Structure 1
Amino acid sequence: MITLPSLSNQPSRRVPISEAMQVAQQLQAQGDVAGAEKIYKLILEADPNHGDGIFYLGMILCQSKRFDEAFTLLKRAVKVHPNVFEFHYNLGLIYESNNHFAQALECYRRAVELEPSGNAHSNLAKNLTDSGQLTEAIEFAREAIKRLPHNQRAIPHNNLGSALTLRGELEQGLENYKLAIAIDVENAFMHSNYLLASNYVAHADLTSAFEEHKKFGDKFESFIAKLYENPLAAQAKKLQRARTDHKPRIGYVSPDFYGHAVGQFIEPILATHDKTKFELVCYSDNQYTDDSTVRMKTLVSNWRQVNAMNDEDLAHMIQTDGIDILVDLAGHTALNRMGVFIRKPAPIQVTWIGYPNTTGLSTMDYRITDALADPVGAADALHTEKLLRLPECFSCFQAPKKSPDVGPLPALHNGFITIGSFNNFAKITPHVMGVWIDIMNRVPGSRLLLKNRSLDNPRLKELILGELCKHGADAKRVELRSPSMTTFEHLNCYNMLDIALDSFPYNGTTTTCEALWMGVPVVTLAGRNHVSRVGVSQMTNLGLHELIARDTNDYVNIAVALANDVPRLTALRGGLRERLKNSPLMNVTRFTKNLEEAYQVIWKKYLSETSA
Structure 2
Amino acid sequence: MFGMRLNPMKKAKTKHLPKGSGKDIEKRLYRALEAHKAGRLDEAWEDYRRILSVNPAHPDALHLSGMILYARKQFERAVDLIQRAIRLKPNEPMFYYNLGATLHELGCWEEAEAAYRKALSLRPDYAEVYSNLGNTLKSKGKFTEAIASLKRAIELKPDFADAYCNLGAALAAMDATQEAEACYQKALAFQPRSLQTWHNYGNLFRDRDRFAEAHMCFKTALEIDPSRPESLNNLGQILMLQGDAVESLRYVKAAWDLKPDYWAAGSNWLLGLHYPGTVSEEDIFSAHRQWAKRVMDAYPVVTTAYDCSQRADDRIHIGYVSADFRTHSVAYFIEPILTHHDRSRFHITAYSDTEKEDETTDRLRGLVDSWKQTSYMKDETLIETIRRDGIDILVDLGGHTAGNRLVMFARKPAPIQVTYIGYPDTTGLDTMDYRITDAWADPPGMTDLWHTETLVRLKSGFLCYRPSDHAPEVGASPFDANGYITFGSFNNLAKVSDTILHAWAKILALVPNSRLLLKARPLKDPQVCENVLQRLQRVGIDPHRVVLQGALSHKEHLARYGEVDIALDTFPYHGTTTTFEALWMGVPVVTASGKTHVSRVGCSILHRIGMEELIASSLDAYVAKATELALDTRRLVLLRQGMRHRIRASTLIDGRSVTGSLEEAYLWMMENRKEGR
Alignment match, 1:322 = 390
Within the alignment, does 1:191 sit opposite 2:266 as a pair? yes
Q: Do the aligned residues in 2 keep the contact of 1:362 with 1:385 (CA within 8 Å)?
A: yes
Match of 1:509 in 2: 576
Cα distance in 2, alignment partners of residues 109 and 561 from structure 1: 55
Paired residue for 1:120? 197
Counterpart selection for 2:337 from 269, 273, 278: 269
The structural deviation recorded for 1:87 is: 3.0
Amino acid across the alignment from 1:28: Y
Contact 2:165 2:200 in 1 (8 A): no
Who is 1:489 aligned against? 556
Whether 2:355 is the aligned partner of 1:287: answer yes
In 1, Cα distance between the equivalents of 2:157 and 2:533? 43
2:147 to 43, 67, 71: 71
In the alignment, which of 454, 461, 476 is matched to residue 386 of structure 1? 454
Tell me what 2:212 maps to. Answer: 135
Post-superposition shift, 1:466?
A: 1.9
Deviation at 1:502, TM superposition (A): 0.5
Corresponding residue of 1:451: 519
Q: Which runs of 5+ in 1 are unaligned?
A: 1-8, 10-21, 44-51, 226-230
The match for 1:108 among 165, 176, 184 is 184
Hey, what's the Cα distance between the residues in 2 that align with 1:149 and 1:499? 45
Q: Which of 89, 92, 97 does residue 28 from structure 1 map onto?
A: 97
**Distance across 1 between alignment mates of 2:248 and 2:539:** 21
Aligned residue for 1:448, secondary structure, equals strand
Using the TM superposition, give the Cα deviation of residue 82 of structure 1 relative to its aligned residue in structure 2, in angstroms.
7.1
Kindly state the Cα deviation for residue 233 of structure 1 after the two structures are TM-superposed. 4.5
1:362-408 CA deviation, whole Å, 9 max, x = no partner? 00000000011001113111100000010031110110123201000
**1:585 alignment partner, SS class:** coil
Question: In structure 2, which of residues 167, 171, 175 is the aligned counterpart of residue 91 of structure 1?
Answer: 167
SS for the counterpart of 2:672 is helix
Partner residue in 1 for 2:594? 527
- TM-score, L = length of structure 1: 0.88
CA distance in 2, matches of 1:396, 1:30: 48
- How far residue 125 of structure 1 moved from its aligned partner, in angstroms, is 2.8
Q: Secondary structure at the match of 1:388?
A: strand
Q: CA deviation at 1:472?
A: 1.6
* 1:258 matched residue in structure 2: 326
**How many Å separate the matches in 1 of 2:313 and 2:375?**
32
Pick closer, same or farther for the CA change 1:556–1:378 going to 2, 3 Å. Answer: same
Aligned residue in 1 for 2:289: 214
Secondary structure in 2 aligned to 1:280? strand
Deviations 1:291-312 (A, max 9, x none): 1110111111200000000111
Rg: which structure is higher?
2
Q: Distance in 2 between matches of 1:455 and 1:137?
A: 14
- Residues 431 and 245 of structure 1: is their aligned pair in 2 closer, same or farther, counting only changes over 3 Å? same
Tell me which residue corresponds to 1:297.
Answer: 365
Instruction: Quote the residue 1:405 is aligned against.
Output: 473
User: What CA distance in whole angstroms lies between the structure 1 residues aligned with 2:293 and 2:146?
Assistant: 42
Q: Please say which of residues 55-64 and 206-215 is displaced more in the overlay.
A: 55-64
Shift of 1:252: 0.3
Query: How much identity, in percent, do the aligned residues show?
Result: 41
Judged with a 3 Å threshold, the aligned counterparts in structure 2 of structure 1 residues 105 and 598 are, in CA distance, closer, same or farther, namely farther
- In 1, distance between residues paired with 2:181 and 2:424? 31
> Which position in structure 2 is the counterpart of 1:249?
317
Preserved CA contact (<8 Å) 1:525 1:555: yes
Task: Quote the offset at 1:187 in angstroms.
Answer: 1.3
Aligned to 1:232: 302
Q: 1:98 to 1:481 in 2, by over 3 A?
A: closer
Distance of aligned partners of 1:244 and 1:292 in 2 relative to their CA distance in 1, 3 Å threshold: closer
* Contact 2:134–2:166 (8 Å) recurs in 1: no
Deviation for aligned residue 1:506: 0.6
Task: Return closer, same or farther for 1:149/1:559 CA change in 2, 3 Å cut-off.
Answer: closer
What is the deviation of 1:463? 1.5
Name which of structure 1's ranges 121-130 and 394-403 shifts more when overlaid on structure 2. Answer: 121-130
Return closer, same or farther for 1:361/1:109 CA change in 2, 3 Å cut-off. farther
Query: What whole-Å deviation, never above 9, does each CA across 1:154-193 have from its counterpart, x for those lacking one?
Result: 1111111111112121111111111101110111111111
Are the structure 2 counterparts of residues 109 and 332 from structure 1 closer, same or farther at C-alpha, using a change threshold of 3 Å? farther
Query: Aligned AA for 2:255?
Result: A
Gaps of at least 5 residues in structure 2 are: 1-9, 11-90, 101-114
- Sort the Cα spacing of 1:241 and 1:598 in 2 relative to 1 into closer, same or farther, 3 A: farther
Q: Are 2:277 and 2:572, in contact at CA under 8 Å, matched by a contact in 1?
A: yes
1:400 and 1:313 map into 2 onto residues whose CA distance is 36
Q: 1:170 aligns with which of 229, 240, 245?
A: 245
- The code of the aligned residue for 1:85 comes to A
Q: Which amino acid aligns with 2:258?
A: I
Q: Residue 541 of structure 2: SS of its match in structure 1?
A: coil
The Cα shift of 1:97 comes to: 7.3
Secondary structure of the structure 2 residue equivalent to 1:575:
helix
1:560 equivalent in structure 2: 627
Query: Kindly tell me: are residues 109 and 518 of structure 1, through their superposed partners in 2, closer, same or farther at Cα, counting changes over 3 Å?
Result: farther
Partners of 2:348 and 2:274 lie apart in 1 by: 31
1:557-579 deviations in whole A, cap 9, x for unaligned?
A: 11111111100000001000111
Specify the code of the residue in structure 2 equivalent to 1:132: D
- Paired with 1:392 and 1:500, the residues of 2 have a C-alpha distance of 25
Amino acid at match of 1:505: P
| Normalised TM-score (structure 2) | 0.80
Is the aligned partner of 1:429 residue 2:492?
A: no
Q: Distance between the aligned counterparts of 1:109 and 1:128, measured in 2?
A: 13
Q: How many Å separate the matches in 1 of 2:278 and 2:623?
A: 18
Alpha-carbon spacing, 1:284–1:103, altered in 2? closer, same or farther (3 Å):
farther
Q: Secondary structure at the match of 2:332?
A: helix
Instruction: Give the CA deviation at 1:58.
Output: 5.4
In the alignment, the residues of structure 2 paired with residue 479 and residue 195 of structure 1 have an alpha-carbon distance, to the nearest angstrom, of: 31
Moved more, 527-536 or 209-218: 209-218
8 A Cα contact 1:58 1:71, kept in partner: no
Structure-2 separation of matches of 1:246 and 1:99: 44
How far, CA to CA, are the matches of 2:318 and 2:95 in structure 1? Answer: 48
Give the Cα separation in 1 of the matches to 2:328 and 2:304: 35
Number of the residue aligned with 1:499: 566
Instruction: Say whether the 8 Å CA contact 2:130–2:152 is kept in structure 1.
Output: no
